[in-house]
Amino acid sequence: MRTHLVRSGLAALSTVAITFAAAACGSSSGSTTTASTGSAISAARCAQNKAAGTVTYLSGYQFQSSASILEYVAASKLGYFDDLCLKVKLVPGSGDTAQNTKLLAGGQASVAAVSEQDVIQARANGIDIEGISSYSDAGLDILMTNPGTTALTQLNGAVVGDKGAMPVSVRAMLVKAGVSWNSLKVVKEGYDPTVLTRGQGGLKALTGFISNEPNQLAAAGHKVTVWQPVTYGIPSSLGAMAVNPAFAKAHPTAVQDVLRAALHAYDYCTTHVAQCVGYAADLSGVTYDKKLNAAIWTTETKVVSDNPTPGRPLGGIDPANITKLTDMLHTYSVIPASVTDQDTAGWFDDSAVEAVYNGTELIWPAP
């Protein structure tokens, strides 16, 4: 997942190690909405979940209020994990997707926020993780232009900025829209989106994340046009999760109930935004921008509601999207041609999501 972040750079590997050693946060037992620990489920299921030991959740980037992060923080603070006899340790990720997938494969994390595209890329590179859920086939990567640009073909020959790597979905969108890719001058920009509104270096377009830069620019009074790959039929994912396969095989009820608690919290946070963002702020410190993070959560959940996964409940994986992602990654030589559609289909299993629903209704608490 190209990380949709408010940040100035990626943390070093040593910082990640320190994070795991010292900055992890255990699940809260101070809920005002629940009774005693495990009271919501049977004694047998409680024992199974306790047998899993500590379940380490790794976020995509810190405790930013993104889908796949905020609901896990809220599930901890509201006592939903406690209700299901789960001991969940929340670990803030550095934003380095490749490093997160390695930590997950190595067992230093049990579950982690990883996009479907990044699951495919990780597995293609021999990193053993498994995708287990996704909220939407839409993604967060976008392209921004100033309002004067009314068609993407106006960007032919233009200077386009990214953050060091052009998102494949944005490139695919430009090509599908008829832009001559080889005519573009792609330059690396930092994390200040006003370089676009200022036209710095002749910049005509800038990549970003729909929940981040447009909200920052709007708050500062700048108008931009946002171009979303999903509107061009380009595949992606939002709020996707992956698991350590060995952990999932050994503790299936724990994986199911981690997702169950997060989905329950997702629903709660859609109507209690300030409260949930406050939980994330409590874990993050005084510099946490509550207003921006509330906008991030509201924007991302709207993308999910506007682009539901076809025929699946919230969290269910769309097999057709995996095939489309595979084809796109082949087209742009991101994964080897030897990786087949059958290979990538086998790298995902949403049986844990299926287990927590009765039709489209989330089963709460667990059976």
Question: Does one domain contain both 194 and 118?
Answer: no
Question: Does one domain contain both 266 and 356?
Answer: yes
Contacts (Cβ under 8 Å, ≥6 apart) of 175? 181
- For CA atoms 306, 312, 317, 319, give the dihedral sign: negative
Chain-centre distance for alpha carbon 346: 21
State pLDDT tens for residues 175-232.
Answer: 999 999 999 999 999 899 999 999 999 999 999 999 999 999 999 999 999 999 999 9
Considering 205, 232, 259, which residue would you say is the last residue of a domain? 232
Tell me, yes or no, whether 209 lies in a domain: yes
Tell me, yes or no, whether 69 lies in a domain: yes
Considering 209, 232, 255, which residue would you say is the last residue of a domain? 232
| 168 has a pLDDT exceeding 50 | yes
Q: What is the mean pLDDT of residues 122-131?
A: 98
Question: Does one domain contain both 124 and 22?
Answer: yes
Question: Does one domain contain both 20 and 126?
Answer: yes
40 falls in which pLDDT band (50, 70, 90)? Answer: confident
Q: The domain that contains 244 carries what CATH number?
A: 3.40.190.10
Burial degree of 123 (CB within 10 A; 0-12, 13-18, 19+):
buried
Q: 245: domain range?
A: 13-137+237-362
Give percent of the chain with pLDDT exceeding 70.
89
| 245 has a pLDDT exceeding 50 | yes
> Apex CA 125: angle with CA 123 and CA 128, to 5°?
40
281 falls in which pLDDT band (50, 70, 90)? Answer: very high
Question: Does one domain contain both 46 and 104?
Answer: yes
Question: Does one domain contain both 117 and 147?
Answer: no
Among 4-13, 123-132, 253-262, 347-356, the range scoring the smallest mean pLDDT is 4-13
Question: Does one domain contain both 165 and 206?
Answer: yes
Question: Does one domain contain both 197 and 257?
Answer: no
| 17 has a pLDDT exceeding 50 | no
Tell me, yes or no, whether 3 lies in a domain: no
Question: Does one domain contain both 356 and 248?
Answer: yes
Considering 208, 232, 256, which residue would you say is the last residue of a domain? 232
Tell me, yes or no, whether 290 lies in a domain: yes
Tell me, yes or no, whether 7 lies in a domain: no
The β-bridge partners of 328 are: none
The whole-number pLDDT of residue 38 equals 66
Which long-range contacts (C-beta less than 8 Å, at least 24 apart) are formed by 337-346? 339/120, 339/124, 343/123, 344/120, 344/123, 345/319
Q: Could you give the number of structural domains in the chain?
A: 2
Question: Does one domain contain both 340 and 310?
Answer: yes
Among 36-45, 56-65, 294-303, the range scoring the smallest mean pLDDT is 36-45
Tell me, yes or no, whether 8 lies in a domain: no
